[in-house]
Amino acid sequence: MTTVLDGNAVAADVRDGLRESIETLADAGARPGLATVLMSDDPASETYVSMKQRDCEEVGIDGSHVELAPDAPAEDLFDTVADLNADPAVHGILVQMPVPDHVDKRRVLRAIDPAKDVDGFHPENVGRMVAGDPRFKPCTPHGIQKLLAAADVETEGADAVVVGRSDIVGKPITNLLIQKAPLGNATTTVCHSRTRDLAAKTREADIVVAAAGVPELVTGDMLKEGATVIDVGVNRVEADTEKGYELVGDVEFESAKERAGVITPVPGGVGPMTRAMLLYNTVKAASERADVPIDLP
């Protein structure tokens, strides 16, 4: 029997686990606050930001939002980040990526106060994670670890293959999987666009994390019987639907389900976890700033 992991349910558990801590912090005068910044008129980015704001409202985090015109000067964005860094009511800052071409993305990541960097992309936080002392784990890889835990997937000693080497998914999940830490200790291979024989690698894996951004790249015949398959991909493909498209993952779900022991669907797998872990990091940031200890789920 294949287990289809319900990311919405696991994410709801994380949110439930955060609510009490949020009230503890609020009672101590430190209700967590998350500021989102959008410098884009891309509808997908707008949707992501509004979902994050809705999530905040739902659990009792103070959400605030700043919107800048995509053609505004880059300095406007850096001034906004500086203001949010200085604002004691803001514990987490999220600048929605991508930013326009005239803005230096790396400078944006460096501009955010590392203690408010709830995305976990500031070089200081990346370094701390790699060194085995994470402050904020990036939301998508952290969410993947929570999904693995929810399904009782043993990572210790497992052979894992990560497909993709991006800074936001591939590299950080690889780092977390190889850490000498709970939900780590996996022997991990990273595959990417120059990998010679992807199927030969994935067929050896107990755990496959697919984060390539290529629709249905990983098919059932590329999997070992009983493998755990985490599908990070979110790809719009043309379809005869009202919107004219549908969302598919980087895994061909139907064939993969025949071989996998555990598999995440798209949508409803990793996506909701990414959102939940952003709330988690915001609550952690507020607790550290206020020096109020709390339990995190």
Residues that bind ligand NAD (CB under 6 A): 140, 163-166, 168-170, 191-193, 195, 198, 211-214, 217, 232-235, 270-271, 274
Tell me if 143 sits within 8 A of 274, measured CB to CB. yes
Overall size of the chain counted in residues: 297
Positive or negative torsion for Cα 280, 281, 285, 288:
positive
Nearer to ligand NAD, 13 or 79 (CB): 13
Q: Is 145 a catalytic residue?
A: no
Work out how close the CB of 248 gets to ligand NAD at its nearest, in angstroms, rounded to a whole number: 9
Contact residues for 207 (Cβ-Cβ < 8 A; gap 6+):
148, 153, 155, 158, 159, 160, 161, 177, 186, 227, 228, 230
Positive or negative torsion for Cα 262, 297, 189, 218:
positive
Work out how close the CB of 34 gets to ligand NAD at its nearest, in angstroms, rounded to a whole number: 17
Q: Among 55, 96, 117, 145, which one carries the catalytic annotation?
A: 96
Q: Among 55, 62, 119, 231, which one carries the catalytic annotation?
A: 119
Measure the CA dihedral 170/176/182/184, to 10°: 70
Match 């803005």 to its residue by tokens.
103
Q: Is 119 a catalytic residue?
A: yes
Q: Among 52, 116, 171, 284, which one carries the catalytic annotation?
A: 52
Nearer to ligand NAD, 62 or 121 (CB): 121
Distance CA 177, CA 155 (A): 7
Nearer to ligand NAD, 275 or 289 (CB): 275
Distance CA 228, CA 218 (A): 13
Nearer to ligand NAD, 149 or 237 (CB): 237
Q: Is 179 a catalytic residue?
A: no
| Active-site amino acid positions | 52, 96, 119
